[in-house]
Structure 1
Amino acid sequence: MSIELSDRQRHILSLITQQDYCSIEQLSADFSITKQTVRRDINTLCDLGLARRHHGGVSVPASLENSSYVARKTSFTDAKQKIAAQVAQEIPNGSTLFLGIGTTISAIAEQLGGHQKLRVITNNFEAASILSHYDHIETWIAGGRLRNGDRDIVGESSHDFFQQFIADIGIISCAAITTLGSTTHKPVDWCLEHELQEAKVSQAIINNSLQTWLVAHGTKLHRQANTKVAPLDSFNQVFKG
């Protein structure tokens, strides 16, 4: 028997698709309903495989998490712009930068127009397109197959490309942040990616940078991915919004 969603449930589904994660408290306030009613709506969406429960909230299911560039760019814009402004302020003129993939990285590129004598090496097609408008910023872009939905270039060619340079600062984002550990080891926070080829390129950036910075807005803590990139304590700076 099919189950038809209510207007409110469809609206909740639309919100979590746009934002990746919504808290029960947020949804309760947005719709002026009790938290218990929110939980019932969440249960319906989760039973249908349209959402995934978290303690205190709900997110898109794992199969939908690696969403398109356009969808990711329009979600959490304020948080990404805030992070981008913080990062740009910390970048000295004359630096050589690695910029990894992701929409937060693209937002950083938009903030670099006022910098002088930068060299930027990236596999982020959107970031390279933004930087192409600035004659005073030298931009290098990895070769290979363009992932149209993600606006980036990953794979062995990108991995090898970054190996040819040494950057003053390597800046990457990630798909998720998860605490991993065991009964014999202290739990460690890791940044993760959805795919091995994405993780390997980020690792190439890390391994060939004098400093490494991670950018991750708050919802990364509520998402899941399954490919290790690096532990958080290995980064020189972590910018969260």
Structure 2
Amino acid sequence: IEVIIAGGLVRNRDRGVIGEATIDFISQFKVDFGVIGISGIENDGSLLDFDYREVRVSEAIIKHSRKVLLVADHSKFNRNALVRLGDLSQIHALFTDQPVPSDLQPILASLDTEVHLTTSDA
């Protein structure tokens, strides 16, 4: 496995890399797996975030990935945020730490989205 790191503006709050330089970098590639996070998943399957710059980076990752993996802990379910990234139809697999709420289960099932429950060894 080779890991290539994108450049760009580093956000102090969480060390996320954002901005046009990041998007330009991502746009050079077509990867097998793109991994994104999100601030909220509404009960209709909408993917939401608080930072439009983060959404633009996630959009680039989705566009340039053959499969998109979403990592979201249980606190993200049924949580509102200001900026819409898209919806669960853009996701191939969801990795989370608790079972998905019942209102989202039919959406994920209809899309054949893989759901993986993680465990903590900490």
Q: TM class, shorter-chain normalised?
A: 0.7 to 0.9
Aligned to 2:74: 218
The answer to which structure has the higher strand fraction is 2
* 2:20 alignment partner, one of 156, 169, 172: 156
TM-score normalised by structure 2 residue count: 0.73
Q: Could you list the runs of 5+ residues in structure 2 that have no partner in the other structure?
A: 98-122
Residue by residue, what CA displacement relative to the aligned partner does 1:160-194 show, whole Å, maximum 9, x if unpaired? 11000111000111000013xxxxxxxx4111110
How far apart in 2 are the matches of 1:208 and 1:228?
A: 19
Is the aligned partner of 1:194 residue 2:53?
no
- Residues of 1 paired with 2:86 and 2:68: CA distance? 11
Q: What one-letter code is carried by the residue in structure 1 that aligns with 2:31?
A: A
**Structure with max Cα Rg:** 1
Q: TM-score, normalised by structure 1?
A: 0.38
**Is the CA contact (8 Å cut-off) linking 1:232 and 1:238 kept in structure 2?**
no
Q: Which has the higher helix share?
A: 1
Selected match of 2:33 from 156, 166, 169? 169
**In the aligned structure 1, how far is the partner of 2:9 from the partner of 2:56?**
16
Work out whether residues 62 and 90 of structure 2, in 8 Å CA contact, stay in contact via their aligned partners in 1. Answer: no
Given the alignment of the two structures, is residue 119 of structure 1 paired with residue 2 of structure 2, yes or no? yes
Q: Note the C-alpha offset of 1:155.
A: 1.0
The answer on 1:235 being equivalent to 2:91 is yes
Distance 2:24 2:12 in 1: 21
Describe how 1:68-79 pairs up with structure 2 within 5 A: none
Between the aligned partners of 1:234 and 1:143, the Cα distance in structure 2 is: 25
Structure 1: how far apart are the matches of 2:91 and 2:7? 27
- 5+ residue gaps, structure 1: 1-117, 121-139, 180-187
Say what the alpha-carbon RMSD is for the aligned residues: 1.3
Task: State the 1:151 CA deviation.
Answer: 0.8
Q: Assess, with a 3 A threshold, how the Cα gap between structure 1 residues 157 and 201 changes in structure 2: closer, same or farther.
A: same
Task: Summarize deviations over 1:122-156 as a string: whole Å, max 9, x none.
Answer: xxxxxxxxxxxxxxxxxx22222221221121011
Deviations 1:63-114 (A, max 9, x none): xxxxxxxxxxxxxxxxxxxxxxxxxxxxxxxxxxxxxxxxxxxxxxxxxxxx
Q: Which has the higher contact order (CA 8 A, sep 6+)?
A: 2
* Structure 2 CA distance for aligned equivalents of residues 207 and 223 of structure 1: 24
Residue 119 (structure 1) shift: 2.0
